[in-house]
Amino acid sequence: MATPYALVVLEDIPSTQDEATARAGDAPVLVVADRQSAGRGRSGRRWETAPRAMAASLAIRPSAWHTAEFGRLSLIAALAGRAVLGDDVACKWPNDLLREGAKVAGLLLEAVGDLVVVGLGVNLWWPDPPAGFGGMFETDPGPGLAVGLASRWCDQLLARIERGPEEWGREEYRQACGTIGRAIRWHPGGAGIARDIDEEGRLVVETGFGLIRLSSGEVWEVR
């Protein structure tokens, strides 16, 4: 049985993350908007919004999950996004979705106590994007896509969360992850070759000092 959730649709909003947090209760809440004026990415950075975009945030208290396991939810959210956006979209560990090497979507996970707020921002159309960014559509698809897209993502995400932390989808993520096999750098000052994703969702990296596992921090590919 699908997990019931409250759906809140707003045309323009400062931040779906903040709105979902403010509306959080015992049942999940999904907040969807076409535009954000104060959207943010990881580490509080401003989220660059395409002219036609979708922003969605799901506030949930996943009772079967321990707080130490919450990090895997970001990877689950990426898999749910890929299931909706298409198989030509690749996961970039830990929180981006790429299409033909360009970032078309990003994820943000924030947790306070037993509350988790997972956000997904999708660039639907971007005629002149900054370097490294892109859109899902070549031409403007017009308004009206955000709610359906966000709802399908939420359905996918909730179904995957219900499987529990041990069945989070490691093998599926490994197959979809474009970071594996790439030279990467991370903050502060690390460098190596991404080799695998472990059972806890950490990135396994080969360095000159042996294998290490990254669970957080800035990671980007060296081109």
Determine contact, residues 87/44, Cβ cutoff 8 Å: no
Question: Could you read off the pLDDT of 195-222 as tens digits, one per residue?
Answer: 999 999 999 999 999 999 998 766 766 6
Q: What is the pLDDT of residue 39?
A: 67
- Structural domains in the chain plus CATH codes: 6-176 (3.30.930.10), 183-221 (2.30.30)
**Per-residue pLDDT tens digits for 6-55:** 999 998 889 999 999 999 999 999 999 988 877 665 555 566 788 999 99
Write out pLDDT tens, residues 154-187. 999 999 999 999 999 999 999 999 999 999 998 8
pLDDT of the residue at 35: 85
pLDDT for position 186: 87
Residue 220 has a pLDDT of 66
Entry field: residues in the chain: 223
Name which of 111, 97, 105, 110 is nearest 176 in CA terms: 97
pLDDT at 139 over 70: yes
In whole angstroms, give the CA distance from residue 213 to residue 138: 38
Antiparallel, parallel or unpaired: β 102-112 and 96-99: antiparallel
110-114 contacts: CB < 8 A, separation 24 or more? 110/17, 110/21, 111/67, 111/70, 112/21, 113/67, 114/61, 114/63, 114/67
The answer to which of 10-14, 38-42, 101-105, 145-149 has the lowest mean pLDDT is: 38-42
Position of tokens 């959210």? 77
Which pTM value belongs to this model?
0.92
**Dist. CA 117–CA 16, nearest whole Å:** 10
Quote the pLDDT of residue 143.
86
Query: How does 23-46 read in b/e, with b if 16+ C-beta sit within 10 Å?
Result: ebeeebbbbbbbbbeebbbbeeee
Specify the DSSP element, H or E, that contains 152: helix 146-162
